[in-house]
């Protein structure tokens, strides 16, 4: 493995240690070593925004904690859910009496541990409600949308819910806007190479040289089609068409677009991919009003990219444009 690590079992812990030293103005420790909180204190009565997930997706998840985004984060082992205990701690730290919105991705381990943590928090008198991201339209049929995985679309709901919470939105309002955001969001990824969890030492899936996998998950979950690598223009079409059809995007609509590299794809190729996405959207009469292109939600050293689209109404447009500051996303505001 050509990786910058020490003990393969300690990668997640040492990553957190590095983050706390590098970005103390953004992230601070809590009583639980796998739970971080925003350094900038929130006013009393603000709804707490919590997220959490496996490590290996950096800057997600810890990179989206900060003003205008999440308040605390629970960090799991690489590609594994945080424990119930860590979600519980994240809820406690985030609560200022107004309740907590836990906004996370649809994976069995996360669902189970969040559920357990909510019960523990209830005993402390902390109210927690959840929105579970299921934006990966390639991961199950539309009829089975509740089985779909959450991927980079989570960033969109952290942004809108975080902004509304900062505006003193109630827990009901914050949950409603997060749900509206993820319902309006679809994502599809393409993988061009596998990735290796350091403690495993070899990939737990393969993508043959010269091939690509459309709809691949963030942990190498099978996609919908394996085919020879196509030009970028065709990749963009394969991903976009699927999202546009599933979410029934149509002429005259405004969207937010997020392209994220999966970790090892050169950043220039993400810009090149955006060139096609922008052209294709505009040719269909769809206007990309917010544009995010970079490494936002990665999968270790997987090559490939994901495209995420969110249908905008006035409220989502406004909330996405509000200032936010974190390791993974800074918005200066308009």
Chain residues that interact with a copy of itself, rule: CB under 8 A: 1-6, 11-12, 14-19, 21-23, 55-56, 58-59, 192-193, 207, 209-210, 212, 229, 231-233, 235, 263-276, 278-279, 291, 293, 295, 298, 300-301, 303-305, 325, 330, 332
- Closest CB to a copy of itself among residues 172, 241: 241
Judged by beta carbon, residue 49 or residue 324, the one nearer a copy of itself is: 324
Rounded to the nearest whole angstrom, what is the least distance from the CB of residue 150 to a copy of itself in the complex?
19
Taking the complex as a whole, how short is the minimal distance between the CB of residue 301 and a copy of itself, in angstroms?
Answer: 5
* Minimum CB–partner distance for residue 170 and a copy of itself (Å): 29
Give min distance, CB of 159 to a copy of itself, in A. Answer: 16
Kindly state the smallest distance separating residue 176's Cβ from a copy of itself, in Å. Answer: 30
How far apart CA 34 and CA 84 sit, in angstroms, is 11
Polymer length of the chain: 334
Give the residue with the Cβ less far from a copy of itself, 1 or 200: 1
Judged by beta carbon, residue 77 or residue 95, the one nearer a copy of itself is 77
Evaluate the CA torsion angle 284, 286, 290, 296 in order and state its sign: negative
DSSP 131: E
For residue 248, count other CB atoms closer than 10 A to its CB. 10
Query: CA-CA distance, 112 to 282, in Å (whole number)?
Result: 41
CB 303 within 8 A of CB 331: no
Residue pair 70/26 in contact by the 8 Å Cβ criterion: no
Q: Rounded to an integer, what distance in angstroms lies between the CA atom of residue 208 and that of residue 148? A: 25
32, 88, 218, 219: which is the annotated catalytic residue? 219
N-terminal to C-terminal alpha carbon distance within the chain: 44
Q: Among 107, 8, 125, which residue's Cα sits nearest to residue 51? A: 107
Coil vs helix vs strand at 29: strand
Catalytic annotation present for 219: yes
Catalytic one among 57, 88, 276, 290? 57
Task: Tell me the pairing of strands 72-78 and 48-55.
Answer: parallel
Give the nearer residue to a copy of itself in terms of CB position, either 70 or 238: 238
Active site residues: 57, 219
């Amino acid at each position: 493995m050509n990786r910058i690590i020490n003990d393969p079992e300690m990668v997640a812990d040492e990553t957190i240690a590095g983050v706390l030293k590098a970005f103390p103005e953004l992230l601070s420790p809590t009583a639980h070593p796998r739970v971080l909180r925003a350094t900038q204190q929130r006013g009393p009565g603000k709804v707490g925004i919590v997220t959490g997930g496996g490590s290996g997706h950096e800057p997600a998840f810890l990179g989206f904690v900060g003003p205008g985004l999440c308040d605390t984060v629970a960090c799991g082992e690489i590609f594994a859910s945080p424990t119930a205990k860590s979600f519980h701690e994240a809820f406690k730290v985030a609560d200022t009496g107004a309740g907590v919105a836990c906004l996370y991705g649809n994976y069995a381990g996360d669902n189970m541990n969040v559920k357990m943590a909510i019960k523990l928090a209830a005993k402390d008198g902390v109210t927690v409600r959840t929105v579970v991201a299921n934006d990966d339209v390639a991961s199950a049929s539309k009829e089975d949308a509740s089985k779909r995985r959450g991927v980079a679309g989570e960033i969109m709901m952290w942004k809108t819910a975080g902004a509304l919470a900062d505006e003193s939105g109630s827990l009901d309002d914050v949950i409603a806007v997060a749900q509206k955001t993820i319902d309006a969001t679809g994502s599809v990824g393409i993988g061009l190479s596998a990735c290796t969890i350091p403690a495993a030492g070899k990939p737990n899936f393969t993508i043959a040289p010269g091939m690509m996998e459309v709809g691949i998950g963030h942990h190498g979950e099978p996609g919908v089609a394996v085919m020879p690598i196509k030009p970028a223009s065709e990749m963009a079409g394969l991903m976009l068409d699927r999202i546009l059809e599933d979410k029934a995007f149509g002429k005259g609509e405004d969207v937010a677009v997020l392209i994220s590299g999966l970790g090892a794809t050169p950043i220039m190729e993400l810009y090149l991919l955006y060139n096609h996405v922008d052209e294709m959207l505009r040719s269909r009469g769809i206007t990309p009003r917010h544009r995010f292109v970079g490494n936002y939600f990665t999968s270790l050293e997987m090559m490939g990219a994901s495209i995420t689209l969110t249908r905008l109404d006035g409220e989502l447009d406004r909330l996405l444009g509000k200032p936010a500051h974190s390791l993974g996303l800074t918005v200066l505001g308009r």
